[in-house]
């Protein structure tokens, strides 16, 4: 009988756990993925909430109106300036929802007043109709429009500008664009937000991560002299690692190798580090994370298949920024931001403020540390290396008089393309202007000759304000 009671209690405990676990997981999932569920096109409750509600306005950080609803026609309207509309299209979106997870769709719960209390709904109904909250974004529409004006015509790519201390996104451009006020169909190429959803090998900008791995795992990495013969071969493999333009750098310190973006040196470092150490360093910067940011959706980055150890030329080319790497421009901007911010990576923020129709603040701006990517002293060392890139290396075209610019350029070779993808990541080394930039121009040339000059103009625009 005693044994029977024990068995009954055990069964009861197991049943209780079976019942509680789904509830706990449901609560966790709602907390972690809630915004994605609430804004999903399959959410029938959201459709009910939107019914009969006039969506609130969208503003940029300076109070410029980005989207509003015409009181007479009920149609969503965007700025009168077509250039500005196109520049903001991927960040703001349009009423048809052509851009997945743009502000017009991802922030629907605020714009349509899903967080209103029953009393607020009743009062608004009695006063003439329901209206959602106004949303202010962290974006600077003037900066965004300027970036659109200087980006190479006819080229695809993306630009991200963010505050590396707070995570505020000041600009998020994607090319090609479209006009959100037009009734014309938007193509798949036009609707893709390349800043957040386009995954690509980032070229030599990834050497920031390889450098961090070397500083952490190879004690004498900075004291060594490396020898670059312009080519690195591997016994048993036909693939080789070559330096851009068949360059032969000769004897180099680690700092010089980073400044000159020597593929051979960083490929050799990757081989010495091995698969696990390089992956671990990448993971410290968020590669492989399941990004669940509060304000926006960003595609997850990756470093080849985790079930296969990188060896030989695969490992070497990964250390140099090629092979099976896949990162978004926004993530690369976050990586540069972590270096600028003493190793601390901030969560990117697009939402500055949510205001009720009667002027009350429903949600204010708040920062959130996403992760610590590396120790502060290692970040300081990499900052110094990145400063050299601008002063005497591949990033000289990004120099701005009166500003301390730190950067890394990248030239990613993509199969099937006539030309390379030009990458640039960098930041202003100034606590009063904590701005990081990522520029990518697809199928355009080298990072130093194509992307860096664009970044230089952006830094000049910001520095002159």
Confidence of residue 9 (pLDDT cuts 50, 70, 90): low
Mean pLDDT of the region 361-372: 96
Please give the mean pLDDT across all residues of the chain: 90
Q: What is the pTM assigned to this prediction?
A: 0.90
Q: Read off φ and ψ for residue 137, nearest 5 degrees.
A: -95, 160
What number of other Cβ atoms are within 10 A of residue 282's Cβ?
A: 24
What does each C-alpha distance from 375 to 123, 204, 330, 348 come to in angstroms? 53, 22, 22, 20
What is the 8-class DSSP label of residue 349?
A: B
Length of the chain, please?
465
Percent of the chain with pLDDT over 70: 89
**pLDDT greater than 90 at residue 464:** no
Mean pLDDT of the region 380-395: 98
Q: What is the pLDDT of residue 43?
A: 56
Mean pLDDT of the region 291-307: 91
Q: What is the pLDDT of residue 194?
A: 98
Q: 309-343, pLDDT tens digit by residue?
A: 899 999 999 999 998 899 999 999 999 999 999 99
Beta bridge partners of 298: none
Confidence of residue 37 (pLDDT cuts 50, 70, 90): very low
Q: Read off φ and ψ for residue 293, nearest 5 degrees.
A: -70, 150
Q: What is the pLDDT of residue 49?
A: 67
Q: 209-263, pLDDT tens digit by residue?
A: 999 999 999 999 999 999 988 888 888 788 888 888 777 889 999 999 999 999 9
**pLDDT greater than 60 at residue 94:** yes
Alpha helices by DSSP H, 80-134: 82-92, 103-106, 108-111, 118-127
Alpha carbon 238 to its chain centroid, in Å, reads 35
Q: 149-167, pLDDT tens digit by residue?
A: 999 999 999 999 999 999 9
Residues 6+ apart with CB under 8 A from 204: 261, 263, 266, 320, 321, 394, 408, 409, 410, 411, 423, 447
Q: What is the pLDDT of residue 247?
A: 79
**pLDDT greater than 60 at residue 289:** yes
**pLDDT greater than 70 at residue 288:** yes
Q: What is the pLDDT of residue 15?
A: 61
Q: 431-462, pLDDT tens digit by residue?
A: 999 999 999 999 999 999 999 999 999 999 99
Mean pLDDT of the region 179-194: 93
Q: What is the pLDDT of residue 45?
A: 57
Q: What is the pLDDT of residue 218?
A: 97
CATH code: domain 203-349+372-463 is: 3.40.710.10
Q: What is the pLDDT of residue 122?
A: 83
Look up tokens 């301390």; give the residue.
404
Q: 114-144, pLDDT tens digit by residue?
A: 888 888 888 888 887 889 999 999 999 999 9
**pLDDT greater than 50 at residue 30:** no
């Amino acid at each position: 009988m005693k044994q029977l009671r024990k068995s009954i209690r055990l069964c009861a405990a197991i049943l209780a756990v079976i019942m509680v676990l789904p509830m706990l997981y449901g609560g966790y999932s709602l907390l972690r993925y809630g915004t994605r569920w609430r804004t999903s096109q399959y959410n029938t409750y959201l459709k009910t909430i939107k019914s009969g509600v006039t969506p609130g306005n969208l503003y940029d950080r300076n109070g410029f109106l980005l989207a509003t609803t015409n009181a007479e026609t009920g149609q969503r309207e965007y700025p009168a300036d077509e250039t500005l509309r196109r520049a903001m299209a991927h960040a703001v979106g349009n009423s048809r929802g052509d851009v997945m997870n743009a502000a017009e769709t991802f922030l629907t719960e605020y714009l349509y007043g899903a967080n209103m209390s029953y009393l607020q709904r009743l009062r608004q109904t009695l006063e003439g109709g329901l209206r959602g909250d106004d949303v202010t974004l962290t974006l600077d529409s003037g900066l965004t429009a300027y970036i659109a004006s200087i980006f190479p015509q006819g080229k695809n790519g993306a630009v991200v500008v963010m505050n590396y201390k707070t995570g505020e996104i000041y600009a998020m451009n994607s090319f090609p664009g479209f006009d959100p006020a037009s009734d014309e169909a938007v193509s798949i190429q036009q609707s893709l937000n390349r800043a957040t959803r386009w995954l690509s090998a980032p070229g030599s900008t990834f050497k920031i991560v390889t450098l961090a791995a070397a500083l952490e795992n190879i004690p004498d990495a900075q004291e060594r002299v490396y020898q670059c013969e312009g080519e690195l071969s591997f016994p048993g493999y036909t693939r080789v690692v070559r330096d851009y333009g068949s360059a032969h750098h000769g004897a180099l310190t680690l700092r010089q190798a980073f400044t000159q973006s020597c593929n051979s040196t960083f490929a050799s470092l990757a081989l010495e580090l091995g698969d696990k150490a390089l992956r671990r360093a990448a993971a410290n910067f968020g590669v492989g994370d399941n990004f669940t940011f509060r304000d926006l959706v960003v595609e997850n980055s990756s470093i080849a298949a985790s079930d296969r150890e990188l060896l030989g030329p695969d490992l070497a080319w990964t250390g140099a920024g090629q092979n099976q790497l896949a990162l978004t421009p926004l993530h690369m901007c976050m990586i540069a931001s972590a270096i600028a911010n003493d190793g601390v990576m901030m969560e990117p923020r697009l939402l500055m403020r949510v205001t009720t129709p009667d002027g009350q603040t429903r949600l204010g701006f708040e920062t959130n540390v996403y992760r610590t990517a590396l120790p502060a002293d290692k970040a300081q060392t990499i900052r110094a290396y990145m400063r050299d890139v601008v002063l005497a290396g591949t990033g000289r075209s990004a120099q701005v008089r009166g500003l301390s610019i730190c950067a890394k350029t990248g030239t990613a070779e993509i199969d099937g393309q006539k030309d390379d993808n030009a990458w640039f990541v960098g930041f202003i080394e100034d606590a009063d202007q904590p701005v990081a930039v990522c520029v990518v121009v697809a199928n355009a040339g080298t990072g130093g000759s194509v992307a860096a000059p664009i970044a230089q103009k952006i830094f000049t625009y910001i520095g002159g304000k």
